[in-house]
């Protein structure tokens, strides 16, 4: 179950985003972490990224079903839509990602038809620092594509990061620089 | 050499120690170049621009590729730690011959920074950094290429002259 029903005030610049801390209750958190540890992840690599992933959207598993509800039930979707001031959100998709040493996701804006709010629930149960890598880097880009790093969010255990998808929502996951496993459940709220 | 060139999905040949690279005067004047989501790197005038334009070299390319070519452009590119280019096509000249001459010293494979050529119907071609080697590759409509992300752990820069020719 969710540990909190409150979404803090949305930060507007450079594009709307927010971090919800302590998102899941302790029992659910333990169950989810245990369930995700037992998955057989696929190694995915392209010019844009390198990581391990496992699609969860259609997985029928008691714990994943609870997690899917916690992230995407009607009540929470209404709160997310209201907080960001967007039209009603119909559904979510979700996948688990593991970033190990050398993994990265280069700058991109997430724009795909139907995606309204991107989210990432952080489940790395060790304290990450800027030396670990793996931070969510938020960029502001001008009209010719020159970027400025305006914010770095170091993932905290059990925190849910959300941001509005638009042509401004440039972000990346910094390269992992230490021998850690950065675990997240990530996806989008759709229109 | 022409038979070797045409023996794979991506017609290519790679020649190591192509020039006496240590005698080349190397003092590029870089400027930062970025289009977020496409590339981030530094660029300057090609170090060997006059050589790439020379009739001797164009004639050499004709012997290797069997193509009559005209010079289209050349630039010197530097990819430092954290730099990248993503897979892209050349919208203006989909059929082209690409030349990469490698000025990269002391490279380690785990730093990435390699050149990748790919296409839906072709076996991908990976070209790791190799100081002083000349890569000649023919790209057709739909073919994509990039220089892959350079790890933040890289202690050197991946530096190349990148030259394009158009078949006549």
> What structural domains and CATH numbers belong to chain B?
2-167 (2.60.120.620)
| φ, ψ at A107 (rounded to 5°) | -60, 135
B150 pLDDT above the threshold of 80: yes
Angle at the Cα of A185 (from A129 to B40), degrees rounded to 5?
A: 60
Q: What is the pLDDT, as a whole number, of residue B28? A: 96
Chain A residue with CA closest to B36: the answer is A145
CB contact under 8 A, B87 and A47: yes
What proportion of chain A, given as a percentage, has pLDDT over 70? Answer: 100
Q: Is residue A96 part of a domain?
A: yes
* Whether the predicted pLDDT of B32 surpasses 90: yes
pLDDT tens, residue by residue, B14-25: 999 999 998 999
Q: Which residues contact B3 (CB under 8 A, 6 or more apart)?
A: none
**Could A106 and B152 be called an inter-chain contact, meaning their C-beta atoms sit closer than 8 Å?**
no
Write out residues in chain A with pLDDT < 50, as ranges: none
Quick one: B24 exposed, middle or buried, by C-beta within 10 A (0-12, 13-18, 19+)? middle
Q: B21 and B131 in contact (C-beta within 8 Å)?
A: yes
> Which chain B residues are Cβ-neighbours of A47 within 8 angstroms?
84-87, 116, 146, 148-149
Residues 6+ apart with CB under 8 A from B81: B150, B151, B152, B153, B154
In B, minimum Cα distance to A139 occurs at B36
pLDDT of B4 above 80: no
Query: Does any domain span residue A156?
Result: yes
| Residues on B contacting A at a C-beta cutoff of 8 Å | 34-38, 40, 82, 84-87, 110, 116, 146, 148-149, 151-153
**pLDDT tens digit string along B73-108?**
999 999 999 999 999 988 777 899 999 999 999 999
A139 contact residues in B (CB cutoff 8 A): 36
Whether residues A146 and B153 touch (CB distance < 8 A) is answered with: no
Residue with tokens 């990248």: B84
- Position A4 in a domain: no
For residue B136, what are the contacts with CB-CB under 8 A and spacing of at least 6?
B5, B12, B13, B14, B15, B61, B64, B65, B97, B98, B99
Q: How far is CA A23 from CA A156, A184, B39, in A?
A: 11, 13, 36
Distance of residue B80 Cα from the nearest chain A Cα, in angstroms: 14
Chain A residue at shortest CA distance from B32: A146
* Inter-residue contact B160 to B75 (CB < 8 Å): no
pTM of whole model > 0.80?
yes
Quick: pLDDT tens for B99-141.
Answer: 999 999 999 999 999 999 999 999 999 999 999 999 999 999 9
Please state, in angstroms and rounded to a whole number, the distance separating the CA atoms of residues A82 and A59.
28
Establish if A49 belongs to a structural domain.
yes
Nearest residue in chain B measured CA to CA from A45:
B148
Q: Count structural domains, chain A.
A: 1
Q: Would you say residue A11 lies in a domain?
A: no
A141·B153 Cβ contact <8 A: no
Residue A9 lies in a domain: no
Interface touch B151/A133, C-beta < 8 Å = no
**Does residue A21 belong to any structural domain of this protein?**
yes
Domain CATH code at residue A122: 2.60.120.620
Question: Please, which pLDDT band fits residue B3 given cuts at 50, 70 and 90?
Answer: confident
Contact B84 A175 (CB under 8 A): no
Q: Domain limits at A167?
A: 17-190
| Cross-chain residue pair B36–A133, CB shorter than 8 Å | no
Q: Decide if B84 and A147 are in contact by the 8 Å CB cutoff.
A: no
Predicted confidence (pLDDT) per residue in B50-62, tens digit: 999 999 999 999 9
């Amino acid at each position: 179950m969710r540990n909190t029903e409150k979404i803090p005030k949305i930060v507007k610049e450079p594009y709307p985003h927010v971090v919800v801390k302590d998102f899941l209750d302790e029992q659910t958190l333990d169950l989810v972490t245990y369930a995700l540890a037992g998955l057989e992840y696929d190694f995915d690599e392209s010019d844009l990224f390198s990581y391990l992933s496992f699609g969860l959207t259609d997985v029928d598993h008691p714990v994943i079903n609870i997690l899917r509800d916690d992230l995407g039930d009607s009540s929470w979707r209404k709160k997310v839509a209201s907080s960001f001031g967007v039209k009603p959100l119909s559904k979510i998709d979700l996948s688990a990602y593991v970033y190990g040493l050398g993994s990265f996701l280069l700058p991109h804006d997430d724009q795909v038809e139907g995606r309204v709010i991107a989210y990432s629930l952080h489940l790395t149960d060790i304290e990450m620092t800027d030396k670990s890598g793996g931070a969510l880097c938020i960029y502001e880009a001008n009209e010719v594509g020159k970027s400025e790093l305006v914010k770095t969010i170091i993932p905290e255990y059990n925190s849910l990061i959300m941001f509005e998808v638009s042509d401004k929502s440039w972000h990346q996951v910094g390269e992992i620089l230490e021998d850690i496993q950065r675990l997240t459940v990530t996806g989008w709220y759709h229109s | 050499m022409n038979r070797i060139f045409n023996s794979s999905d991506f017609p290519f040949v790679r020649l190591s120690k192509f020039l006496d690279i240590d005698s080349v005067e190397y003092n590029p004047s870089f400027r930062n170049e970025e289009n977020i989501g496409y590339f981030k790197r530094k660029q300057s005038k090609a170090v060997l621009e006059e050589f790439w334009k020379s009739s001797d070299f164009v004639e050499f390319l004709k012997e290797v590729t069997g193509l009559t070519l005209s010079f289209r452009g050349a630039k010197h590119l530097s990819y430092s730690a954290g730099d990248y280019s993503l897979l892209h096509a050349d919208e203006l000249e989909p059929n082209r011959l690409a030349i990469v001459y490698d000025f990269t010293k002391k490279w380690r494979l785990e730093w990435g920074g390699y050149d990748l050529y790919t296409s839906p119907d072709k076996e991908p071609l990976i070209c790791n950094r190799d100081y002083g080697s000349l890569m000649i590759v023919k790209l057709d409509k739909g073919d994509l290429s990039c220089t892959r992300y350079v790890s933040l752990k890289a202690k050197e820069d991946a530096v190349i002259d990148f030259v394009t020719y158009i078949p006549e």
